[in-house]
């Protein structure tokens, strides 16, 4: 049984109603547990937990330090292409967006890799739009060896692929695949994803299963905050995580919960989440899954990151450029979304050191997970 089958049995409305129906006493009891159930997580995500956020944050911080020590990993995104055959109402790369399209060639990729290395970064996240024909498996197989030799850890955030394709990428050195579901709300998903393969929710929901079956070391899950009710999305993501952890017990898992940022498409956020609620979400997940890697990108402001990283975060991006060629080849091109924290990696690192955290630039080797 794949996760899709389990997901189909869930009723969004019921879960959404449940998510608000908890008391302070229940929150306190969940806060004291060492092994949390999904129901405990629901409790910690509920509005009743918000007044107890200082307690939740303190426990999250303690668990983060116990599990990960004082270290915080650094990575940067490497955008290879903004070609996209999808129409997603919130994204600046969408098909109908009048932006200059470009896909980096080998020479440009080498130049970008060196520019990223120049920032001190050794772990990279490859990102592309979704264009099966022009930026598909053959392109990835061509460019991966060029990128692999520069970095100790290579993560990939591209369209969902088949098991065989993931297996090929693993053999070429992909250490992790990020597959953000955006939202687990079927109705909302259809509203936001109008055209292209991304509108097929089944194909996307089962993609982490295919990564797991291909034996890739790490799977990244995520939701795009702002698309739908965040509490309900978070519970379904937790179900997804729990399912995957049982099926693919050798995989590591990471979580990313970006908030929608302004992009060249322009959009109004229909389900906003406050700073406090985002902290609640991140900390609740730390209690639910102490081993979960959680990243926080430059979408968030320097100040917000400064306060939240010590609580629950294990990896941060820094110095990010969100357009192909953005580091060196063509820094002027349009970005996928505008970033907020524009500090250089060394500045972010320095600030973390002042808070008693140790930046980790490398924590993997090319022979691991092959």
Partner 1 sequence: MLRIADKSFSSRLLLGSGKFAHPSLMQQAIQASGCQLVTLALKRLQLGQQQDDLLHPLQQMNIQLLPNTSGAKTAKEAIFAAQLAREALQTNWLKLEIHPDPRYLMPDPIETLIAAEQLVKLGFVVLPYCSADPVLCKRLEQAGCAAVMPLGAAIGSNQGLQTRAMLEIIIEQATVPVIIDAGLGAPSHAAAAMELGAAAVLVNTAIASSQNPVAMALAFAQAVNAGRTAYNAGLAAAHSHAEPSSPLTDFLATL
251 binds partner 1 (CB under 8 A): yes
Question: Taking the complex as a whole, how short is the minimal distance between the CB of residue 356 and partner 1, in angstroms?
Answer: 4
User: Contact region for partner 1 (CB under 8 A) — 183-191, 229-237, 272-280, 354-362?
Assistant: 354-362
Q: Does 208 bind partner 1 (CB under 8 A)?
A: no
* Residue placing its CB nearer to partner 1 in the complex, 197 or 252: 252
Tell me the closest approach of the beta carbon of residue 219 to partner 1, in angstroms.
11
The window from 8-16, 59-67, 96-104, 336-344 that contacts partner 1 (CB under 8 A) reads 59-67
Question: Do the beta carbons of residue 340 and residue 301 sit within 8 Å?
Answer: yes
Q: Which H or E element spans position 352?
A: helix 345-354
Q: CA 291, 162, 79, 101 torsion: positive or negative?
A: negative
Pattern 282-301, partner 1, x by CB under 8 A = ---------x----------
End-to-end CA distance of the chain: 27
Q: How far is the CB of 361 from partner 1 (least distance, A)?
A: 7
Q: Does 32 bind partner 1 (CB under 8 A)?
A: no
User: Could you tell me how many residues of this chain bind partner 1 (CB under 8 A)?
Assistant: 30
Told to check if 122 binds partner 1 by CB under 8 A, we report yes
* CA 83-220-259 angle, 5° bins: 70
Closest to partner 1 by CB, 129 or 369? 369
Tell me which residues in 61-90 interact with partner 1 (CB under 8 A): 65-71
Give the residue among 196, 200, 199 at the shortest CA–CA distance from 133: 196
Q: Which is nearer to partner 1, 48 or 357 (by Cβ)?
A: 357
Which is closer to partner 1, CB of 104 or CB of 349?
A: 349
Secondary structure letter of residue 125 according to DSSP: E
Q: How far apart are CA 99 and CA 350, in angstroms?
A: 36
The answer to whether residues 197 and 203 touch, using CB atoms and an 8 Å cutoff, is yes
For residues 264, 267, 273, 278, the Cα torsion angle rounded to the nearest 10 degrees is -20
- Distant-in-sequence, close-in-space partners of 263: CB < 8 Å, separation ≥ 6: 90, 91, 92, 335, 336, 337, 338
Site map for partner 1, 140-159, x if CB under 8 A?
Answer: ------------x-------
Q: How many beta carbons lie within 10 A of that of residue 298, not counting itself?
A: 25
Applying CB under 8 A, the span of 97-105, 225-233, 244-252, 329-337 interacting with partner 1 comes to 244-252
Nearest to 183 by CA among 227, 145, 221: 227
CA distance readout (Å), 157 to 80, 82, 125: 11, 12, 7
DSSP label at 335?
P
CB of 174 to partner 1, least distance (A): 16
State the minimum distance, in angstroms, from the CB of residue 66 to partner 1: 5
13 binds partner 1 (CB under 8 A): no
Distance CA 232, CA 219 (A): 21
Measured CA to CA, the distance from residue 205 to residue 184 in angstroms comes to 8
Q: How far is the CB of 357 from partner 1 (least distance, A)?
A: 7
362 binds partner 1 (CB under 8 A): yes
345: contact with partner 1 by CB under 8 A = no
- 35 touching partner 1, by CB under 8 A: no
- Taking the least distance from each CB to partner 1, the nearer of 123 and 181 is 123
Binds partner 1 (CB under 8 A): choice among 245, 264, 267, 306: 245
Give the interface with partner 1 as residue ranges (CB under 8 A). 65-71, 122, 152, 217, 245, 249-252, 291, 353, 356-358, 360-365, 367-370
């Amino acid at each position: 049984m794949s996760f899709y089958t389990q997901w189909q049995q869930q009723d969004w409305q019921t879960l959404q109603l449940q998510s608000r129906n908890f008391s302070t006493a229940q929150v306190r009891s969940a806060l004291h547990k060492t092994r949390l159930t999904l129901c405990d997580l629901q409790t910690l995500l509920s509005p009743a937990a918000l007044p107890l956020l200082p307690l939740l944050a303190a426990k999250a911080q303690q668990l983060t330090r116990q599990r990960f020590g004082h270290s915080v990993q650094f990575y940067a995104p490497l955008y290879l292409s903004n070609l996209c055959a999808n129409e997603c109402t919130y994204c600046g790369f969408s098909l109908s967006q009048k932006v200059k399209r470009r896909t980096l060639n080998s020479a440009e990729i080498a130049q970008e890799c060196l520019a990223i290395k120049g920032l001190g970064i050794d772990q990279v996240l490859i990102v592309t739009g979704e264009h099966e024909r022009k930026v598909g498996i053959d392109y990835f197989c061509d460019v991966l060896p060029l990128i692999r030799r520069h970095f100790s850890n290579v993560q990939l955030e591209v369209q969902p692929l088949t098991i065989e394709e993931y297996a090929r990428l693993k053999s070429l050195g992909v250490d992790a695949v990020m597959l953000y579901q955006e939202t687990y709300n079927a109705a909302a998903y259809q509203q936001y994803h109008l055209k292209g393969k991304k509108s097929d929710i089944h194909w996307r929901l089962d993609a982490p299963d295919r990564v797991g079956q291909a034996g890739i070391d790490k799977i990244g899950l995520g939701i795009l905050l702002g698309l739908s009710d965040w509490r309900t999305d978070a519970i379904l993501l937790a179900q997804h995580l729990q399912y995957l952890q049982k099926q693919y017990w050798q995989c590591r898992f990471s979580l990313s919960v970006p908030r929608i940022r302004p992009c060249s498409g322009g959009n109004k956020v229909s389900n906003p989440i406050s700073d406090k609620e985002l902290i609640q979400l991140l900390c609740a997940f730390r209690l639910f899954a102490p081993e979960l890697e959680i990243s926080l990108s430059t979408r968030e402001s320097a100040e917000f990151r400064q306060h939240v990283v010590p609580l629950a975060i294990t990896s941060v991006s820094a110095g990010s450029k969100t357009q192909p060629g953005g580091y060196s080849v063509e820094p002027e091109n349009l970005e996928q979304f505008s970033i907020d924290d524009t500090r250089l990696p060394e500045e972010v690192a320095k600030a973390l050191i002042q808070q008693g955290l140790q930046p980790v630039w490398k924590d993997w080797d090319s022979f691991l997970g092959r």
